[in-house]
Structure 1
Amino acid sequence: MNDTIPARRIDATLAESPTAPLETIAERAGTTVADVVRRLPAGEAVCVDGAHFVDVMEDLAQWGEITFIVNTGDVILEARGEVPEGSIGRGFYNLNGKPIGGHLKADACGMIAFVSRQLFGSPTRSVQFYGHAGHCLFKVYLGRDEERRIKADQVEKFVALRERLAC
């Protein structure tokens, strides 16, 4: 997105509410969540091509307990657990685990974002998957320890994967 009217609306909304949920910012700015992610301040998001979908999912399966979120606008569904190892079959990346399982259409992913930002006063790290039209498919938030701090080993894995793919 270049410096257009939607870009200015995103920037203004981010300035008003810098820690608001991305979906709220997108709704207020009249655009997609993916457009908001692309306009986040420097250091808050690194975006890579969705072609890395399987590679990212395979890496996430090694991270331990995370929070898997699907936000439809009317429903925010969260599941805490480990991302199970998956396999490609019938056009889907199939996760056969509990509590996280399902069938994800890998080629529906147009962009993957590594997001580091404040949300409701707490630092967060997440890997977010976006469809080609800019809607969020799902998000994977790093886990927290007993003191509610982001797990340090997962931060290391997040940074390593982000840096490897952002080349």
Structure 2
Amino acid sequence: MTTIDTTQSTTLPGAQAESLLKQIAGWGPVTTIVIHLGSVFEFKGPFPDGSVGHGFYNLNGPVPGFHGHLNLGDVDHIAFQTKPHRGRESYALVFNNRNGDTIFKIFLGRDDQGELLAHQKAAFFELMQDENSQ
């Protein structure tokens, strides 16, 4: 796993992971990244809606598509990553465990010209601002 690398210190408590994932499911295409033992797995497309069952948040995406079972109990905090990637602005929500290890990241999506999707960027900054104002 990797440790968080952000330029912002804003975080959400892990208890908000389920409600945040339900919001993200309505955002449209994003890039979800899981880094495990030196390999990087990416999924580009809508983050699927999910529901809690048997101790996991179960992703209910279409087949074929993105599926999985997330142990949200392991999410201690969610960081707002705001750092350039390859010289371009880039934003992600980084789901971390209590040791600061990254479980997975969800990057904002881009349009056909490679520009960030404006509605996602607005939602990201609204979440960050709401957390900073508390």
Give the structure 1 partner of residue 47 of structure 2: 83
Q: Answer yes or no: is 1:59 the counterpart of 2:23.
A: yes
Per residue, is there more helix in 1 or in 2? 1
Q: Could you tell me whether the CA contact under 8 Å between 1:112 and 1:128 is conserved in 2?
A: yes
Q: Which has the larger radius of gyration?
A: 1
For each residue in 1:68-103, what CA deviation from the matched residue of structure 2 results, as whole angstroms up to 9, or x when unmatched? 100125100000111111101111001021422100
For each residue in 1:90-136, what CA deviation from the matched residue of structure 2 results, as whole angstroms up to 9, or x when unmatched? 11001021422100001100110111111221110111100112211
SS state of the match for residue 95, structure 1?
strand
Q: CA deviation at 1:154?
A: 0.7
Q: Distance in 1 between matches of 2:130 and 2:25?
A: 17
TM-score by length of 1: 0.72
Give the structure 2 partner of residue 111 of structure 1: 77
Query: 1:152 is matched with which residue: 88, 93, 118?
Result: 118
Give the structure 1 partner of residue 130 of structure 2: 164
Q: 1:13-162 maps to which residues of 2 (within 5 A)?
A: 23=2, 33-34=3-4, 36-37=5-6, 40=7, 44-98=8-62, 99-162=65-128
TM-score by length of 2: 0.89
Q: Could you tell me whether the CA contact under 8 Å between 2:10 and 2:131 is conserved in 1?
A: no
Q: What is the alpha-carbon root mean square deviation over aligned residues?
A: 1.5
Structure 1: runs of 5 or more not aligned: 1-22, 24-32
Q: Structure 1 stretch 63-72 or stretch 156-165: which is displaced more?
A: 156-165
SS state of the match for residue 123, structure 1?
coil
Aligned length: 130
SS state of the match for residue 119, structure 1?
coil
Q: Distance in 2 between matches of 1:45 and 1:121?
A: 21
Structure 2: runs of 5 or more not aligned: none
Q: Which amino acid aligns with 1:160?
A: E
Q: Could you tell me whether the CA contact under 8 Å between 1:61 and 1:84 is conserved in 2?
A: yes
